[in-house]
Amino acid sequence: MSNTLESTQSMEKRQKKGAKVYLIFAVVLAFLVLILVPVWFLLDVVGGGHSHGGMMMSVEAFREKLNTQQEAYGLEDGSIRPSSENMVFIMAQQFGFVPPVIRLEQGKHYDLAFYSPDVLHGSTLVDIGGGTLNAVILPHRMTTMSLTPEETGEIRLICNEYCGLGHHLMKGTIIVEQERDPLFPPNR
């Protein structure tokens, strides 16, 4: 009986010792991870140099880009027909997109640059070849999205992040037009 009692006590001591070893190992490992994560960030091992949401920009600088775009590509109806060689600037603000109507050419590649001067917004391009394209637009950061419209027609642009009481009014339109003949440029 005493042998059984001694072996049970011995086994309990080994279990307690094993539990202490595992606990010490877990604490040391957690501490190493706590130290390594900032080091990995500084060494850019995990993309530490990435700025979430894109490039920071002042409201004035983005408005200047919008004004330049409107002067170069603006049409009488308030829409724009930008060149595919240039970035298309779109401001998402409470409660609309500026410009509200954008005309793009079928089959051409465009880079859309979204910017929010006020609150968090989102952009969803609906009806792109039967699908959607989404992006989050952080305040005071430029968010880019690439688009090559393959079909003519309308693409709806809506805000997909609740941005206030007029959120449901926040809509825009991208009109995809047939490829233009370079010999006959369109009337502005």
- Give me the CATH number covering residue 115: 2.60.40.420
What span, in angstroms and rounded, lies between the C-alpha atoms of 112 and 89?
A: 6
What pLDDT sits at residue 84? Answer: 86
CA 75 to chain centre: 29
User: Which domain covers residue 19, as residue numbers?
Assistant: 1-50
What span, in angstroms and rounded, lies between the C-alpha atoms of 131 and 134?
A: 10
Do 69 and 42 fall into the same domain?
no
pLDDT digits (tens, 9 = 90+) for 40-76: 666 666 544 434 567 888 999 999 999 999 999 999 9
In a domain, 42, yes or no: yes
Do 67 and 103 fall into the same domain?
yes
In a domain, 31, yes or no: yes
Question: In total, how many domains does the chain have?
Answer: 2
pLDDT, average across residues 3-21: 72
In a domain, 188, yes or no: no
Do 69 and 35 fall into the same domain?
no
Do 77 and 157 fall into the same domain?
yes
pLDDT digits (tens, 9 = 90+) for 170-184: 999 999 999 776 655
